Amino acid sequence: MGVYISGGVSGGHINPAITLAMAILGRLPLEKVLFYWTAQYLGAFTGAAVVYGVYYDALNAFDGGNRQIDGAQGTAGIFATYPKSFLSWQSGLGDQIVGTAILGMLVLAITDKRNSNVHSSMIPVAVGAVVAGIGMTYGFNCGFAINPARDLGPRTFTAMAGWGSAVFSYRNFNWFWVPVVGPYIGAIAGAWLYQVFAGIHWPEFPAAELDVKDLQEDVHRKLQPEKQSVDYAQVENEYVAEFSEESF
């Protein structure tokens, strides 16, 4: 939903790690990164506050107003991610790097017009399917944050809403940073992997997409009743220029 709402204005990243990867690849001006990050983290914080307000009575009914992180009445995991008891921070970091690398690769593949050329109206659906797939396959260990804002924003809110500083000191401060650092590393790695193994190998204008002959015939058919002449070289140049524009 967030991509549908903001996609036409900002590209709908809604993920600071993806924003950084796009900036490194030159698809987003570096001076805009901090503005994107600010909006993304504040948005996640606000989203957590909305959820808390909607389910406030349910939370009180469940834990009696005594907010706990884990255990039988633990509820902090509703908002931020926490690892299973067997998971080390090293494995958790690897989990987040791999999961977000997959997300980064697929985001670039989906939005690459030289690849499958997914229609813009279907990009949010495709990205949502990718996130759902990552959740089903990589969610067991620690909840598949794969988005620093999605974890740190709500975690900060819970620290202020009754769960206290323990949401950061959990495991002796040896967890809260994992779902923040891991996704940044993973998104950058995934984006570069896509570029190295796919993105830089496309011909500049694939014949499958740049069918100038069809364009010429279409223009000729439309203008024939008026007997107007057409500069096909100019038409081809305009079509090539339009196709070559990058967008996300």
* Tokens 């796009």, residue located: 22
Range name among 93-107, 136-150, 179-193, 220-234 with the lowest pLDDT average: 220-234
Distances (CA, A) of 184 to 19, 84, 93, 98, 152: 9, 22, 11, 11, 13
User: Over the stretch 59-76, which tens digit does the pLDDT of each residue have?
Assistant: 999 999 999 999 999 999
User: Over the stretch 93-105, which tens digit does the pLDDT of each residue have?
Assistant: 999 999 999 999 9
Q: Tell me the pLDDT band of 115, cut-offs 50, 70 and 90.
A: confident
Cβ burial, residue 107 (10 Å; 0-12/13-18/19+): buried
Name residue 179's amino acid: P
